Structure 1
Amino acid sequence: MDNKTDYSKLANLSPFELKNSLIEIAQSRSDRVMLNAGRGNPNFLATLPRYAFFQLGLFAAQESEMSFSFLNENVGGMPIKDGLMGRFESFIRHKCENPGVMFLSKALSFVRDQLGLDAYQYLQEMTEGILGCNYPVPDRMLTISEEIVKAYILREMGATSMTNDDIDLFATEGGTGAMAYLFNSMKENGILKAGDKIALGAPIFTPYLEIPELNDYELHEVLINADPALKWQYPESELRKLEDPSIKAFYLVNPSNPPSVKIDDKSLDIIADIVKKRPDLIILTDDVYGTFVDNFRSLFTICPDNTILVYSFSKYFGATGWRLGVIGLTRNNILDKKIANLPHAEKEILNKRYSSIIPEPEKLKFIDRLVGDSRAVALNHTAGLSTPQQVQMVLFALAELMDNNQGYKKALINLIQRRSAALYKQLGVEHEFDENSVDYYTLLDLEDIARKLYGDDFAKWIITTKNANELLFTIASEAGVVLLPGQGFAVQHPSARVSLANLNEYQYKAIGTSIHKLASKSYEQFKHNKGK
């Protein structure tokens, strides 16, 4: 970018598209290493459930060879059910020192003795599932897999008063797949229509701002703005906007992206009060960062029948490439009720749409309509997340359920907090502790940083003379550091999102140092201009 670049033209770009230009600028010099803190892909991951996955794969491959052992051409078949448990126990005994194998042994015991599930059915489902030799059946989620992931979801979301029998899950290709399916099915089933208003808890993950405005949906957005002065909680006056009956749904990320703050108890109570007044309000909560918080409580536990839960395994387990997510709904959810109350003519259209799935399509639950819609209905018989993906999801869930001391969680929380402290120390700005903060991301308020470093006059000058995008390109060009613009997440002031998940501690120190040096350089320019 040169001095003639019109940065205002970049304002409408998604921050994830703008990132590509920032990377290009940051990589333009060979005398330094680019530091990309733009994307939220973590550089940590859970190893034990992965060890278990690959060892289970070896066992399953050996099992498959038993069916056609008379052939020499590496042909396997469906695992033989008779004697499966005995052969698995023998496999464990012969490899008892392998950490992945020991995990598989303990997992079998946990599934049987703590979750009360059928151990043989579990082993059979895992063995066939990891081979990927059958279509996903049931297509929404494998039977035992769903029960295990339910136990994980209910615990991590703080749903202590709910049981597995209260909810259904749909396994999806990550949280983004879940969102795409939900937007589509809510439109197809007349729950959201063109011209409807939906509220978005801002700041928010950029696609949630972009999808509703597409011609596919043509929804009108109402922002519910969190206040940085309240440590990124929603003021009650903002939440009370949801009492407007014309707002059909409230979409939010909790803990938020990018402020990385969970909704506090006061705000949860306000939302619960609003739902009492507005029992028709749909809430969609993306809780992907909830597992980074101790004692997290999702809105799914506060207003369960009104809330659609989306959870992704991607960030916490370092599994963005696996594409593992779930949609959760209670069995008494508001969406089924809304479909049941549609006008007769609309019901007839929907009955025709889903008539190839069941004999009485009017009885098809919304979560099962999601499954059908995910494969354009006609391909419903091939729907469902791939079975090896579901197996890895189950092993991730079991790893956390069996971690009695929460060692993995404590390690991640400590890792992220150290990175945050390193960044702000070198930046020269105090970062206040907040019990509701997750710190997976942090928002750098550019004006506030300028003020804290060099005073009000400098802060006013930097904001009035420098476009926010220009500041990010300057940081990329002169320091080789890639940050994302807060504006793209509906942040109301000039800011930059820093991911604290994808670099190492010394690199966050370098980022803090680089930005501080640039601020110092700008301050010298400010003093020079002021002295003229």
Structure 2
Amino acid sequence: MSPKLSPFELKDTLIELAGKAKNHVMLNAGRGNPNFLAIQPRHAFIRMGEFALEESSRSYAYLYGGFGGASDKKHIGARFSEFLIRNEDKKGTHLLRAAFSYMRDQLGLDYDDVVFEFCEAYLGCNYPVPPRMLTSMEKVVREYLVKEMYGGKSALNDFDIFATEGGTAAMTYIFQSLKRNHLLAAKDKVAIVTPIFTPYLEIPVLPEYGLEVLTLEVEEELGWQLSEKAIKQLEDPAIKVLYVVNPSNPPSVKMSSSVLESVAKLIKEKRQDLMVITDDVYGTFADDFLSLAAMVPENTLLVYSFSKYFGATGWRLGAIALAENNIFDKKLAALGNADKAVLAERYSSLTDDVPGLKFIDRMVADSRAVALNHTSGISLPQQLQMAFFALFALVDGHDEYKQATKNLIRRRYDRLMGSIGVETEKDENSVEYYTLLDLQVLGEYFYSKEFGQWVVDNNQDMEFLFTIARECGIVMLPGNGFDDSHPSARVSLANLTEWEYETIGKMTRQVLDEMYQTYSSKK
């Protein structure tokens, strides 16, 4: 494999090979797109749309030609309650009733205000105001993040949210604004916990950033956790930013409580100036998940995507969350006069008080080249569906959907590993959305230590990927493409059926047997 090829570029070659495999149906385990999704919040979106269209049609009822208008806010809550009664037997109505009851009782939102906002959002007939996110929807998503990312700690509820076009847009905006606001410059040093989603490795070294990257690799022997030695490297004052995907991609293991505490302790005691970016998209698949954003909120910018948990990759729904009191704003305030003058000119069209413009609002402006700040943010229908996803989780008092998704993923993992011939052990930190098949470990487990070393010495991980694609029609991705130093293959447990994972396990064992025969013949 060319060192310039990402695993996703290599995937196309492997797919082509797998598609030509004789007597085998292609099984693409290289995709992270889930084959499950949340239905109820989608039904709620449709029901909300029916009411919004009823409201819209009231404005110009005397006109022909399909005219509608903006909703009438006066008494809209009463009309909505009547609508729910009339449609009580339709799918989505129960969630709507529970969601609006929750928003009134738990968030203190005015019923007319929030019904009006949701109607206008569905119709998409106005620009987003505020552009960062609509007011009530920001409160809803904030509560969702408190529940899922912050361990339910309502005291940490003082943070702002920027709704973005998925987690990928969030990543782009963060890198861009760190540079444009002189918080990162070429040759600055950043630390990245690896293995990791490849763009976090690829973006920092692009010419427009030119950052120096220090990788902190989690250790398989420690359960895919950072060692104390790796954590200690963060004491280096030259490191400006720490990038983390938690739970990790592809090992799919969350940071343990002890590692979280160690990292947080170091930041609080020795690196109060360290900026932290944590991408926690897989956190909702973990048991008792807690984000670094909850441990060190002043230092941490949180990225979350609704794509995987709710099966909504096509909706492009993501969010950036940042505490109101944060190191990013403090660093802006501490910039030199020359830098401040440049930034004052950049954002002068937005406000007379550029020094008071928060970093998260600068990201909003930067996302539309500042000049188009008034059209920033994701579309209102997108925000509405995001809000319904969040509300669906908030009113699910027994976490039935969450437990079902976790069970689904874990059954697939057990089926895969069992068919390979490996007895699985429960790891409280393992999420298993993806799994890394360490070919050296498997080689030692089934055959011998010498064979495992042969796999390493002869780059047999790549041979394994091409063989299983060519002979069995199975696509996996190389672990080294995610900066995993082990000879490994990444399997997504999100997008195939249980019996297909059993097939993948059996074929994995078959190819390993063939590799061992090749090894034995050369001894």
The equivalent of 1:505 in structure 2 is 498
AA aligned opposite 1:106: A
The equivalent of 1:4 in structure 2 is none
Give the C-alpha shift of residue 165 in structure 1.
Answer: 5.4
2:462 pairs with 1:469: yes
Aligned ranges for residues 253-292 of structure 1 at < 5 Å?
253-275=245-267, 276-292=269-285
2:420 pairs with 1:431: no
CA contact (8 A) 2:151 2:289 kept: no
AA aligned opposite 1:291: T
Segment drifting more, 457-466 vs 71-80: 457-466
How far, CA to CA, are the matches of 2:347 and 2:400 in structure 1? Answer: 46
Give the C-alpha shift of residue 468 in structure 1.
Answer: 2.5
The equivalent of 1:350 in structure 2 is 343
CA contact (8 A) 2:73 2:113 kept: no
2:378 pairs with 1:385: yes
Secondary structure at the residue paired with 1:180?
A: helix
AA aligned opposite 1:525: T
CA contact (8 A) 2:47 2:93 kept: yes
The equivalent of 1:338 in structure 2 is 331
Aligned ranges for residues 169-180 of structure 1 at < 5 Å?
169-180=161-172
AA aligned opposite 1:22: L
Secondary structure at the residue paired with 1:327?
A: strand
CA contact (8 A) 1:255 1:438 kept: yes
Q: Structure 2: any 5+ residue segments left out of the alignment?
A: none
Picking from 89, 101, 112, the partner of 1:97 is: 89
2:140 pairs with 1:148: yes
Deviation per residue, 1:187-245 (Å, 9 max, x gap): 00010111100000111110000000001110000011100000001001001100000
The equivalent of 1:402 in structure 2 is 395
User: TM-score under structure 1 normalisation?
Assistant: 0.96
How far, CA to CA, are the matches of 2:90 and 2:240 in structure 1? Answer: 53
**Corresponding residue pairs, total:** 522
Give the C-alpha shift of residue 469 in structure 1.
Answer: 2.1
The equivalent of 1:52 in structure 2 is 44
Q: Structure 1: any 5+ residue segments left out of the alignment?
A: 1-6
The equivalent of 2:318 in structure 1 is 325
Aligned ranges for residues 202-217 of structure 1 at < 5 Å?
202-217=194-209
Aligned ranges for residues 306-321 of structure 1 at < 5 Å?
306-321=299-314
CA contact (8 A) 1:351 1:362 kept: yes
User: TM-score under structure 2 normalisation?
Assistant: 0.98
How far, CA to CA, are the matches of 1:462 and 1:25 in structure 2? Answer: 22
How far, CA to CA, are the matches of 1:312 and 1:27 in structure 2? Answer: 31
The equivalent of 1:3 in structure 2 is none
The equivalent of 1:88 in structure 2 is 80
CA contact (8 A) 1:429 1:453 kept: no
Picking from 364, 368, 373, the partner of 1:371 is: 364
How far, CA to CA, are the matches of 2:335 and 2:488 in structure 1? Answer: 44
Secondary structure at the residue paired with 2:10?
A: helix
Secondary structure at the residue paired with 2:417?
A: helix
CA contact (8 A) 2:197 2:245 kept: yes
Give the C-alpha shift of residue 164 in structure 1.
Answer: 7.1
CA contact (8 A) 2:149 2:289 kept: yes
Segment drifting more, 310-319 vs 165-174: 165-174
Q: CA RMSD in A?
A: 1.3
CA contact (8 A) 1:252 1:285 kept: yes
How far, CA to CA, are the matches of 1:528 and 1:262 in structure 2? Answer: 41
Q: 1:53 to 1:82 in 2, by over 3 A?
A: same
How far, CA to CA, are the matches of 2:481 and 2:96 in structure 1? Answer: 44
AA aligned opposite 2:430: S
CA contact (8 A) 2:147 2:153 kept: no
CA contact (8 A) 1:425 1:512 kept: yes
